Amino acid sequence: MTPVTRRDFLRRSGAGLGLAAASVAGLSACASGVKGDVMPKTARRVVIIGGGWGGATAARYVRLEDPAIEVVLIEPNLAFVSCPFSNLVLSGLRTIESITLKYDGLARRGVKMVRDTASAIEPETKRVRVGDGYIEYDRLIVSPGVDFQWDQVEGLAQNQNTVLHAWKAGPQTAELARQIAAMPDGGVFVLTVPPIAFRCPPGPYERACQVAWYLKTNKPRAKIVVLDSNPNVVSKTALFREAWKAYPNLDYRASARVIAVDPGARTVRTEFESVKYDVLNLIPPQRAAAIAVQADLVGADKRWCEVDHVTYESVKQKGVHVLGDATMGLPVPKSGNAANAMGKICASAVVQLLSDKPVQQIPPGNTCYSWVSDREAIAVVNSYKIDNGKVVQIEQKLTPGQSAAVAQRSLGWLQSIWSDMLA
């Protein structure tokens, strides 16, 4: 195989910023009575857990780099639902269907899909447990996303199915949109922001903009209260605060960590006050998903996974690579674009490692758009380099302000990056 040059990588990855298989096997690896190896290995194999921004990208790019490598993607969902742009579903600017994409493109690339949930990783034997059987691998890529720390908020664990987070785009997103639309004029929408680190730091503040815009337009006597665990807006701070000047119905309260919820009384409690709501969107504290904890991939904080900055190989489990929101230690946000960049870099590294060739040192990139009204957006672009084996940020550029032009650019970015992941 001809090694991929940095120029090739940048061309494929949309200028280095992550812009951008005959058919899916449709295996049911947890079918009744299945034991042992459910997919005997006949060639070099990369198994990927999680078909989100990082995992789907990695699957596509391993196949692009070396079609002789078998790629198995373990993902329980039949379709990918994009967290970026999901906040626009809450304001009625998009539908959930418009941000839902099938995995057909990966099928055409020869990726084999196991539509199930990985229950355990066995690094010693290089196996992933699925149902009553297992799948062997030569290299494993884990892109598990986040899970929630329900016990951090009193009353949340027993009400986790009714107190909506909508932080994993899908049915809860559509249900929260329905609740907002049904909220009485004069009602109160409460949005809680967890302490950092959490998936997509700009996300809650973009969500506040979208809900505030919707209420101002459709329910002018209603208001939104934002209870932020952090002492200030943690991303695009000045830009968001400027955007909020258009929303006198938005009440932002910093250092207001929610410690309890009572759905019966329709109240949330911080360390300082109790706040009543008509509609609640409680985004819980987060950590790497359960499979990462089970496999002892998380660090001393018991939350996030430390990885090599060049290959994304776990520092605790050799042969296992971790991507996206589950990682820590890299100066990149927990964003879809960052996960997409990691997926490409990791795919290249894994192919080189399987071929006993040197791994190229390729830095990630990140572009993040946030819609602050029905037609205007803001953006940040981060550039990085590899310095002594570590990812280092070299530049961050913010848009000077919100504009319709930035919003239009974001639409092109979205189509490009979706194609980069799934085409």
Is the pLDDT confidence value at 14 over 70?
Answer: no
274, two tokens: 């109790």
pLDDT for position 35: 75
- Delimiting residues of CATH 3.50.50.60 domain(s) in the chain: 6-147+287-362, 150-284
Averaged pLDDT, 51-78: 98
Report whether 275 contacts 185 (CB < 8 A): no
Q: What is the mean pLDDT of the chain?
A: 93
Report the C-alpha gap between 377 and 371 in whole angstroms: 4
Residues 6+ apart with CB under 8 A from 138: 41, 44, 45, 46, 126, 319, 354
Averaged pLDDT, 241-263: 98
Report whether 296 contacts 267 (CB < 8 A): no
How does residue 32 score in pLDDT terms, banded at 50, 70 and 90? very low
Lowest-confidence segment of 33-42, 192-201, 371-380, 392-401 by average pLDDT: 33-42
Is the pLDDT confidence value at 203 over 50?
Answer: yes
Angle (nearest 5°) at CA 21 between 83 and 103: 20
Residues 6+ apart with CB under 8 A from 328: 197, 299, 301, 303, 304, 305, 306
Give the closest residue to 8 by CA, choosing from 348, 381, 387, 342: 348
pLDDT for position 26: 39
pLDDT tens sequence across 95-138: 999 999 999 999 999 999 999 999 999 999 999 999 999 999 99
pLDDT for position 260: 98
Report whether 389 contacts 310 (CB < 8 A): yes
Report the C-alpha gap between 16 and 383 in whole angstroms: 9
For residue 313, what is the DSSP state? B
Averaged pLDDT, 51-67: 98
Is the pLDDT confidence value at 9 over 70?
Answer: no
pLDDT tens sequence across 211-240: 999 999 999 999 999 999 999 999 999 999
Strands of the sheet with 365-371, listed across from one edge: 365-371, 377-387, 390-398
pLDDT tens sequence across 319-375: 999 999 999 999 999 999 999 999 999 999 999 999 999 999 999 999 999 999 999
Q: Between 290 and 16, name the one with better pLDDT.
A: 290
pLDDT for position 19: 29
Instruction: Return the CATH fold of 6-147+287-362.
Output: FAD/NAD(P)-binding domain (3.50.50)
Is the pLDDT confidence value at 314 over 70?
Answer: yes
Report whether 149 contacts 229 (CB < 8 A): no
Is the pLDDT confidence value at 17 over 50?
Answer: no
Is the pLDDT confidence value at 7 over 50?
Answer: no
Burial tier of 55 (Cβ tally within 10 Å: 0-12, 13-18, 19+): buried
Task: Compute the Cα dihedral for 403, 404, 408, 410 and give only its sign.
Answer: positive
Averaged pLDDT, 411-415: 97
Instruction: Return the CATH fold of 150-284.
Output: FAD/NAD(P)-binding domain (3.50.50)
Q: Say which residue the tokens 């034997």 belong to.
A: 125
Is the pLDDT confidence value at 11 over 70?
Answer: no
pTM of the model: 0.91
pLDDT for position 316: 97
Lowest-confidence segment of 5-9, 127-131, 212-216, 307-311 by average pLDDT: 5-9
pLDDT for position 30: 40
% of the chain beyond a pLDDT of 70: 92
pLDDT for position 160: 94
